[in-house]
Structure 1
Amino acid sequence: MSGHSKWANIKHKKAKTDAQKGKVFTKLGRELIVAARAGGGEPENNFRLKIAIDNAKAANMPNDNIKRAIQKGAGGVDGVAYEELRYEGYGPGGAAVMADILTDNRNRTAGEMRHIFSKNGGNLGETGSVNWMFNEKGQITVPLEDFELSEDEFMLMALEAGAEDIDNDGENYLVYTASEDLDGVHQALLGQKVPVAEAIVNQIAQNTVEIADLEQAKKMIRLMDALEEHDDVQGVYANFELADSLSDEDLE
């Protein structure tokens, strides 16, 4: 989420713990299964699968795990049918929130989503209640650590590769593209030896809501954490921005 530097920093610290818990591999595996089931097991003919494989490799998911997930999806075995859903609502301070879901039990997930929103100061809304506030974009994450190019040099490279814009959240460059251009820009950056950590289709907020109240900010962070930690959630999007007056120590 562009502009959410404080939240981005909190997420980066938490992501390392999530990886250790194995949550990342579980969610990547589900995406591989669904992508292969929807478009076949050949990545050259399945853009979604190609991106899923790239992200799995970037997260150091073992090749055998990747192959098994693709075979499971393409072969339609295992009797598990995942359904793709999107839940929309509002968080503390009126921030718009969306969660993309892969579930094998719609009723269970609906109840759990409703509980997560209400427990953390939010309200689950109707389908279409907030998605109009977001634009679908390709997003490529490039870690700043040990990156040799200056921001101006990297922006020029990214724009020449077909990107629309780049942002700096303090720990990564975020490269934004039209969703249909994501793979082309991704491959061009890889060809220039750029260390890409992730390439995804993201939902980018058109405008942001600033949260300056500490208690609302803490509730918003708890809501985002609870959604992202849920096993069925593949992606969470929101349009909040934490005010500069809130210190990192107070938010943790």
Structure 2
Amino acid sequence: MSGHSKWHNIQRRKGKQDAVRGQLFTKLSKDIYQAAREGGGNPDTNFRLKTAIERARANNLPAENIARTIAKATGTLEGVTYEELLYEGFGPHGVALLIEIVTDNRNRTAADVRHIFRKRGGSLGESGSVAWMFQRQGQITVTKDGIDGEELMMAAIDAGAEDVVERSDDYLIVTQPDQFVAVRQAIEDAGIAYEEAELTYEAATKLELSEEAMDEVYDLVEALEEYDDVQTVYTNVLFPEDDEDD
């Protein structure tokens, strides 16, 4: 599934709780900023902003931070200007990585991310070196609690979903990027609550690694995620949860 969910349960090193919390707030604020800048400051008409605000509230980002960030993005407050970038690179054992970046200084970010790669046995690649291995798609997750699976599938497929995968605890709805909003809206209109809805990158084929090799990849991805300008990390590694879901 999406990169951030892959690494969500990685245990952070002791003593980093406050730093990690601050980095998370920074990333949440950047996500809100970019969504508001592109689609406007009204979450009722800007789904990306609505989702970003919901995620920020779920992680206890203060309401005043949210309001201030939206104001900056819509031009009612002066502030820095962020841009979105997609970095590509290779980690240990030939693992491919796509990294979503939001930065106010692309030169600084490029140098810092390159250093993170080099220090952990990887290399930052050129544009196009990795992206071809991944497919852009929408993913919507609906928990099974109280859900009529047949009704969900009909609503999703009728709205243009490519597939609905039943897993142990939930359903995964997969869409093309241009059908994502329509499918999400159809699910909402059917009165079905979703747990998560996002545009993500999924590797077309995945690598199986040994436990030792996986630890080296974890180290690189963890370091990337701890860097403030990194929003999301995607890899082509086959995870145990992927294997179980198939």
What TM-score range do you get, normalising by the shorter chain?
A: 0.7 to 0.9
Matched with 1:249 is none
Equivalent in the alignment of 1:159: 157
Shift of the alpha carbon at 1:96?
1.1
Per the alignment, residue 137 of structure 2 pairs with 137
State which of 194, 199, 202 in structure 1 corresponds to 2:200.
202
- Residue of structure 1 in register with 2:230 after alignment: 233
2:87 alignment partner in structure 1: 87
- Shift of residue 79 of structure 1? 2.9
TM-score by length of 1: 0.77
- For 2:128, the equivalent position in structure 1 comes to 128
Given candidates 186, 191, 200, the residue that maps to 2:184 is 186
User: CA 1:19–1:198 in structure 2 vs 1: closer, same or farther (change >3 Å)?
Assistant: farther
Alignment of 1:206-221 (within 5 A): 206-211=204-209, 213-221=210-218
Which deviates more, 132-141 or 48-57?
Answer: 48-57
Distance in 2 between residues matched to 1:19 and 1:161, nearest whole Å: 42
What 5-or-longer segments of structure 2 have no aligned partner?
242-246
The alignment's C-alpha RMSD in Å is 3.4
Map of 1:40-189 to 2, 5 A cutoff?
A: 40-43=40-43, 46=46, 48-56=48-56, 59=59, 61=61, 63-75=63-75, 77-143=77-143, 147-149=145-147, 154-167=152-165, 172-189=170-187
Instruction: Please identify, of 166-175 and 62-71, the stretch whose mean Cα deviation from structure 2 is larger.
Output: 166-175
Secondary structure of 2:74's aligned partner: helix
The 3 A distance-change label for structure 1 pair 191 and 48 is same
Misfit runs of 4+, over 6 Å: 17-20
Letter in 2 for 1:158: A
Deviation at 1:88, TM superposition (A): 0.5
| Structure 1 gaps, min length 5 | 245-252
Contact 1:8 1:169 in 2 (8 A): no
In structure 2, do the counterparts of structure 1 residues 18 and 153 end up closer, same or farther at CA, with 3 Å as the change threshold?
A: farther
Identity across the alignment (%): 45
CA contact (8 A) 2:20 2:226 kept: no
Superposition deviation, residue 31 in structure 1: 1.5
State whether residues 217 and 242 of structure 1, in contact with CA within 8 Å, keep that contact through their aligned partners in structure 2: no
2:35 is aligned with 1:35: yes
The residue identity in structure 1 corresponding to 2:117 is: F
Aligned mates of 2:164, 2:183 — CA distance in 1: 12
- Contact 1:94/1:209, CA 8 A, preserved across alignment: no
1:224 aligns to what?
221
- Report if aligned partners of 1:138, 1:202 keep a CA contact under 8 Å in 2: yes
Judge conservation of contact 2:152–2:187 (CA < 8 Å) in 1.
no
Q: 1:158, 1:206 → 2: CA distance?
A: 22
Q: CA deviation at 1:233?
A: 0.9
Amino acid in structure 2 at the alignment position of 1:228: E
Specify whether residues 123 and 152 from structure 1 end up closer, same or farther in structure 2 by C-alpha distance, changes over 3 A only. farther
CA distance 1:14–1:187, shift in 2 (3 Å): farther
Could you list the per-position Cα deviations for residues 134-167 of structure 1 after superposition, in whole angstroms to 9, with x for gaps in the alignment? 11111223355xx233766644443344322234
**Aligned counterparts of 1:82 and 1:180: Cα–Cα separation in 2:** 24
Q: Which residue of 2 aligns with 1:250?
A: none
1:179-225 superposed Cα distances (whole Å, 9 cap, x missing partner) = 122222223323444343332211111111221x2221111112222
Measure, in 2, the Cα distance between the counterparts of 1:12 and 1:192. Answer: 32
**Normalising to structure 2: TM-score of the pair?**
0.78
Following the alignment from structure 1 to structure 2, what is the Cα–Cα distance between the partners of residues 76 and 42?
A: 14
Amino acid at match of 2:146: E
